[in-house]
Amino acid sequence: MKLSEHPVAMPALARIPALVPIDVPAEPPTPVTQPFMPPLEEFVPFLETIWSNRWLTNSGPFHQQLERALEEYLGVPYISLTSNGTTALWLALQAMKVGGEVITTPFTFVATAHALRLVGATPVFVDIDEEDCNLAPAGIEAAVTDRTSAILPVHCFGHPCDTAAISRIADVYELKVIYDAAHAFGVQTGGQSILRQGDLSVLSFHATKVFNTFEGGAIVSPDQRTKSKIDRLRNFGFIDDTVMARASINGKLNELQSAFGLLQLRYIDDLIARRGEISARYHAALADIDGIAPFTIGGGATLNHSYFPILVSEDYPVDADALCRRLQAAGILARRYFHPLICDMPGYRDLPSARQPLPVARRIARQILCLPIHPNLSDSLVDRTIDILSHG
Ligand SMILES: Cc1ncc(COP(=O)(O)O)c(C=O)c1O
């Protein structure tokens, strides 16, 4: 049947209610993450500006302000905002002309590998390091072939990759390095933003992330030339009103979301600090529970506490899956990030690299569980979560 032949008639506009109320449960479950909402009255002046100047998108004043503010806050040279992190990955890969084979991790969110598929590149999965759950440099080097064009590592859970080793391999084999830094907002090593590593870094500002613009993302570029190229690709490929560099997508962030980002940025240090307190509370309590170990890294990195992953070993009475279900039944919506591995999913599992043993990734995927962590989480809900864990 054609769409136009569908029997349901459109309701008259007059019958559509102005606002359909949404029920908010009195005692909602505890999500694994939740966005911080700044006081609504602080957002009103932003809305008034948008309403009066009628500049809704296409690199408006709030969009420009947010790019500058993020460059300054993160300590990075150039930022290009995008409509989401997946679009940012796609744009970054296009800007670097990535194709052929790209070495990446199986322990990540699907968007990392999907972006490679979307530009026609073949993901080559390599095992991860058991200390930080990021791509293991030795495996990267062993996977390089004459078809390899790039490495796409992920700073998983905001744990910094071994950027020095990755950069050495990239130099030797002349590969591009694009970091999926979706989890790494504000993460620093050696007093510098981790986002300065590689050829490009990609951020996600999805509602579940440490810093959010409802949906959104960004690409960090090292110079103005690269930023301009990405900005053109983000805007259909237009160089100016009539001249087109090449066909591309609409990947722009709008003024409403940019304004929300500017307001979020006022609170971000306090939000990350509150996450740090929750992380410390979990750490202290979990030290007494056999078979459960917080999965955090040592070393001198400044973390953002975007996730609170734990590993559930054979010493614990039940496995990670059963524990996850037990928490969820009690209204604590823990999540198995990242299980299953991407290399075990349809569309990827037939790749030659997906059929390797990948022992560390498979063990960590089996044992992983992410507990709730977000700035609105109360100490009592953290304690309730710990109480369930301590009863096995
Ligand atoms: C590692 C990773 N990469 C990419 C993305 C995609 O970002 P977005 O949801 O903003 O498209 C996400 C999460 O959403 C992610 O966790």
Distance in Å, CA 182 to ligand 1 centroid: 6
Amino acid 16: pLDDT:
67
Give the pocket of ligand 1 (CB within 6 Å): 84-86, 108-109, 111-112, 154, 180, 182-183, 204, 206, 217
- Distances 323 to 121, 331, 362 between C-alpha atoms, Å: 37, 13, 18
For domain 268-390, the CATH class is alpha beta
Which of 93, 116, 185, 206 to mutate to test ligand 1, by most ligand atoms within 8 A of the CB atom?
206
Distance in Å, CA 192 to ligand 1 centroid: 23
Q: Are 211 and 237 in contact (CB under 8 A)?
A: no
pLDDT tens per residue across span 221-266: 999 999 999 999 999 999 998 998 899 999 999 999 999 999 999 9
pLDDT confidence bin for 386, thresholds 50/70/90: very high
Distance in Å, CA 111 to ligand 1 centroid: 6
Distance in Å, CA 15 to ligand 1 centroid: 39
Burial class (CB in 10 A: 0-12, 13-18, 19+), 155: buried
Amino acid 13: pLDDT:
62
Distance in Å, CA 387 to ligand 1 centroid: 31
Amino acid 279: pLDDT:
97
The H or E element spanning position 316 is none
Looking at ligand 1, which residue's alpha carbon is closest to its atom 4?
A: 111
Amino acid 149: pLDDT:
98
Which of the residue ranges 22-26, 74-78, 133-137 would you say has the lowest mean pLDDT?
A: 22-26
Q: Give the mean model confidence (pLDDT) for residues 31-45.
A: 96
Is the per-residue pLDDT at 5 higher than 90? no
Ligand 1 atom at minimal distance to the Cα of residue 216: 10
**What distance lies between CA 229 and its chain's CA centroid?**
23
pLDDT tens per residue across span 278-327: 999 999 999 889 999 999 887 789 999 999 999 999 999 999 999 999 99
Look-up: residue for tokens 């103005």?
224
Ligand 1 atom at minimal distance to the Cα of residue 154: 1
Q: What percentage of the chain exceeds 70 in pLDDT?
A: 98
Looking at ligand 1, which residue's alpha carbon is closest to its atom 16?
A: 109
Looking at ligand 1, which residue's alpha carbon is closest to its atom 7?
A: 85
CATH code reported for the domain at 40-263 = 3.40.640.10
pLDDT tens per residue across span 121-166: 999 999 999 999 999 999 999 999 999 999 999 999 999 999 999 9
What residues does each domain of the chain span?
Answer: 40-263, 268-390
Is the per-residue pLDDT at 14 higher than 80? no
Amino acid 391: pLDDT:
85
Identify whether 252 is a catalytic site residue: no
Amino acid 9: pLDDT:
67
Q: Give the mean model confidence (pLDDT) for residues 370-387.
A: 96
Ligand 1 atom at minimal distance to the Cα of residue 156: 1
Is the per-residue pLDDT at 21 higher than 80? no
**Pairing relationship of beta strands 217-221 and 78-82 according to DSSP bridges:** antiparallel
Question: Choosing from 97, 176, 209, 252, which is the catalytic residue?
Answer: 209
ω before 340 within 30° of 0 (cis)? yes
Q: Give the mean model confidence (pLDDT) for residues 369-385.
A: 96
pLDDT confidence bin for 215, thresholds 50/70/90: very high
Q: Are 108 and 338 in contact (CB under 8 A)?
A: yes
Is the per-residue pLDDT at 11 higher than 70? no
- Spell out a b/e string for 24-48, using b for 16 or more CB atoms within 10 Å of the CB, else e: eeeeeebbbbbbbeeeeeebeebee
